[in-house]
Structure formats: structure tokens, C-alpha cells
Structure 1
Amino acid sequence: MSYEHELKQHFHKLESLSLALSIGALHVDVMKLNYVPPGPNWYAPPHKHSSYEFHFITEDKGFGSMGNTPFNVEAGMLYLTGPEVVHTQLTDKTEPMAELCLQCQFEIDAIAYFASQQEARQLLTILSTPVNGAVHDQFGAIPLFFACAKEANNSYVGHYSLIRCLIAEILLLQQGLSEVRS
């Protein structure tokens, strides 16, 4: 069995989970959490979502664009597309990229404590500030994806709760993107 096939099998269990969580007053509905293995003809034509989509490149390289802004991606990089942002992806033919993808929608709890609502709004402001390109995963989110897949595959008691905690950590680490944007 190839490494890519084995990795895809690990993520298959994770992809089948229905995941929703809260980070303080921020409700997170995870719509997609998957692994896209490398392939020389991998292409995602221009499209958009009503949700946020986090793209984490785990292997080799490729190309992306947001709107009319093209950029290169390589292993260890990430980029975020916000709601209604047209984006596309294309793998490099000789060194095809692999990607981890987290797609989710956010909603602020209207009856939560004010401080918790304020923190949720701050995080959404950071995630909604456009970056037309990819940045290095200097905050360590990529290994957390693999930890999610491992937990789903092992299915020990508490794995569902632990996966939700790991996803919350992945999302909270993205506030570091505001430092990269500056």
C-alpha cells in the first residue's frame, strides 16, 4: 500500500465525522476536513464558497489564485479563502502537491457573554482580512491535522472530543496570520 493511499485511508474516517464545536461564543460548523493526495493532473477550477476554506500544503508544490492574483504554494504553506472569494488551484506536474483542507462556517452566539462575543468578533475580523497569497505554517497547524486523522483512525474513547479540540487549536493558530499580513 502506498504512503498516499495509507494517508488517504487515515483521513477517510476523519472525513466521515460530523463535526461542530464552539470556541467561546464562536460556533464552528465543519463542512469539510479532508486530505487531497498528490496527483499530476490535480486541478480545482475557479470557484467560491459561502464559507471559509483553509488550505494547508503538505507535499511538493503547486499554484493558486484568489481573484486575479496568482501565487505559488509549496510544502509547509497555507492560505485562506474567505466567503465569496473566487479561487483556484493547480498542482505542479513534476512535483505534485498534496493538501489538507478545512472548510467551515462561523456564527457568533448572540446570548454569550460580551467578552466572549468580542473575542469571537476579533477572530472573525482576522480571518476575514484578505491575504492574496500563501504564507508559511509558522504556527504549526499542519501537524494538528495529522493528529486529528490519527485520533479518528484509533477511535479511542474521547477521540471525538479530542478532534474537536485540535480543530479549535488549528483555527486559533490562524490568528497568527494577522502578524504575517502586517
Structure 2
Amino acid sequence: MIKNERFVPLQPMREKPFLLEKLDLKFRWGNYGFRVLRFHLNSFAPGAKIGFHKHSEFEFHFVASGKGSVVLDDQTYFLQEGMFYLTGPDVLHAQEMDQYDPLEELCLHLEIVPLTTDSFIERMDNDKSIASVEPADWGKEQEVSEAEQCVRQLYDLPARPMMDRRQTMSYFYRAYDAIVNHESGVYETIRQCIIQIMLLTTHASNQEKQPWLTLPHREASEVHFQMACQFIRDNYMFPIALEEVATTVGISKRQLQRVFQKYTSATFTAYLEEVRLTHICTELRIGNKTVEHIALDNGFENVNYLYLVFKKRYGMTPRSFKEQSQQIINE
């Protein structure tokens, strides 16, 4: 069935929905660095559910077609084509797709990192006479200001769905089309598309050809591994199942196991336990909570299982580790 394409041409993107994710996209805008983690069209199965989770970055969700619902801040919202919502850092959210007309979602998952202030701008602030003897900043000051304003507004954007009245979704297709057609300046085009997606998202709350293969790339398995690891680091304190992470990353359980074997020479479960144990060791060294509370706060269903895993990993019980650590601190 060909679904409605009222907001953006979806059919070309359905052929290669993860094409943009193959690029290692990083750029600077103002005094911020931006790294693209996900940039794709996601077509969900009827009735599919994605349980509560959070990210340490920004995730832009645009409903290109279909229906569903999202839970944000304990509030359930209906979703339909033409709507969007933003989940900022540590915002818990869950999704459910319509049984008969499931969502197709354009997703941009973006890490935003503050960078050091440009040295020339700093020197101009300290010595205004520099402006008369050195070239103009070529709009740098305005760029820094606009980027700062945009990022600040992203943090302030309410966690609720809104209508995409500014045709923001068209920039997903514009970025995709630039790669497919091997456009000259494709990297800058994609950069501008991402900036436009951010800017138009914030506005909503106020009412000769180069082959893309020459760009820096990541293996698909590397992308999947990075996403899975980030998901675990963000959600290790909750119950996490292999199937849940595989669904979030967009691959099968078996594929995800192979990815972990490739990059860690261990299983998914072993990696998850290692992340949890690292946090537990820190709490045992410096915290005052009981071992029972620490176990539950770090994703273990009960303290007995923690004792089993901990002793196998460190050769002693959590309680012995805690006592030993406190003795060292008191010496």
C-alpha cells in the first residue's frame, strides 16, 4: 500500500531509509559542535510499542504518515501525520503505533557539545581596536549568537507534540536528495538542513558533483554498536532486555548479539552487567546506601543476583568490596 505523502516524498526514502546514517556527520555552528547519531525514516509495524527510555541527547521526531501515540512527562498524546515532538536530554518517553495505520517517522538524533569560544572573538572582546586592523569576522559574531539562541530554545521547548506548520520535514528529504544526486557541496547542504530543522523546531514553539562515498563513513555495525551502548549507558538503572535494545537500534536480536561480539568480544548481557558493575563499584566506594538499595538502583532485580555476578567478576562480595574500600579511604 502506498501511504500518504502529503508532507514529504517518502517513497524514494523508503528505498534507502538509513542512507544518511552511513555518514559520519559532525560540524560546528557557532560555539557548539553537533554530531549526528541517527538521521532516518523509520517505518514501524502495526501496533508496535517502544517502552519507556531516555537519551542524553536531543531526538527530533516528525510524523510523516500514519498514527500513534507518545507518552511524555506522564502525559499521553495522540500522534498523526504532520505533527512533531522533541525529546531533550533525560526526557522519559514511550511510543505506540496504530494497529491499522502505523507511524512512519523522520528521526534526527543529535548530540550537541559546547565548544571553546573562538579565539578571535575573545580577542575582539578584550581589545576593540583589533577590529580596525584585522579583517571583519565575516558574520561569525551573528552565527555565534544565533546558535546560542537556538540551542537555548531547544532546551526550553515544551515536551509535547505540535503541528509542523513550517514544512520542517522537507529538509529531511532535501538532505537525502543531495546525497542521492551526488550534489556539489553535499556536506554543507546536509549541515544547513540540520540547522534548519533545529531552527524551525524552535520557531514552532513561537509560532559539479561529488560522490557521497568520499565523505567520512561509519560501518552500519559501528552505528548500531554506538547506539546500543549509549542506550545502555542512559538506561542501565532500568530493566533492559536484548529485544528492547535491538528494536530501538533497528536490528534483530541476533544481529545485535553479533555486533557486541565484534566490538567487545563479549555478549550483550556481559556488556550491560559491566556498565552496571562500574556504577555499583563507585557507589560502594563513596556512597552510604545499602547493598540492597544499590542493586535495585542499578538495574538488578534482586541483591542475590548482584552477589552472584559481582563475586564472579571481582572475586569478592559487594559487602566485602565496600568494607575494603572504606578501609583504604580511612588509612
TM-score band, normalised by the shorter chain?
0.7 to 0.9
Q: 2:156 aligns with which of 108, 115, 129?
A: 129
Q: How does 1:1-182 map to 2 (within 5 A)?
A: 6-112=12-118, 113=121, 115=141, 116-180=143-207
Structure of greater Rg? 2
The structure in which a higher percent of residues are strand is 1
Give TM-score scaled by structure 2 length: 0.50
User: Cα distance, 1:155 vs. partner?
Assistant: 2.2
Q: Which amino acid aligns with 2:166?
A: F
- C-alpha contact 1:10 1:153 (8 A) present in aligned 2: no
Q: 2-side partners of 1:120 and 1:164: how far apart? A: 13
- C-alpha contact 2:18 2:39 (8 A) present in aligned 1: no
Q: 1-side partners of 2:189 and 2:83: how far apart? A: 25
Q: 2-side partners of 1:158 and 1:11: how far apart? A: 22
* Distance verdict in 2 for CA 1:2–1:179, change over 3 Å: closer
* Distance verdict in 2 for CA 1:104–1:119, change over 3 Å: same
1:131-161 deviation per Cα after TM superposition (whole angstroms, max 9, x unaligned): 2320001122101101111122222332222
User: Cα distance, 1:174 vs. partner?
Assistant: 1.7
Q: Which amino acid aligns with 1:59?
A: S
Q: Which amino acid aligns with 2:51?
A: P
Deviates most, 82-91 or 23-32: 23-32
1:92-139 deviation per Cα after TM superposition (whole angstroms, max 9, x unaligned): 111111101001111222223475554433222211124232000112
- 2:274 aligns to what? none
RMSD: 2.2
Q: Which has the higher contact order (CA 8 A, sep 6+)?
A: 1
* Distance verdict in 2 for CA 1:178–1:2, change over 3 Å: closer
Task: Give aligned pairs, total.
Answer: 180
Deviates most, 96-105 or 149-158: 149-158
- C-alpha contact 1:30 1:104 (8 A) present in aligned 2: yes
Q: Which amino acid aligns with 2:79?
A: V
- C-alpha contact 1:36 1:99 (8 A) present in aligned 2: yes
Give TM-score scaled by structure 1 length: 0.88
* Distance verdict in 2 for CA 1:130–1:154, change over 3 Å: same
In structure 1, stretches of 5+ residues that fail to align are none
Q: 2-side partners of 1:47 and 1:129: how far apart? A: 20
Q: 2-side partners of 1:169 and 1:5: how far apart? A: 23
- C-alpha contact 1:10 1:149 (8 A) present in aligned 2: no
Q: Secondary structure at the match of 1:79?
A: strand
In structure 2, stretches of 5+ residues that fail to align are 4-9, 123-140, 208-331
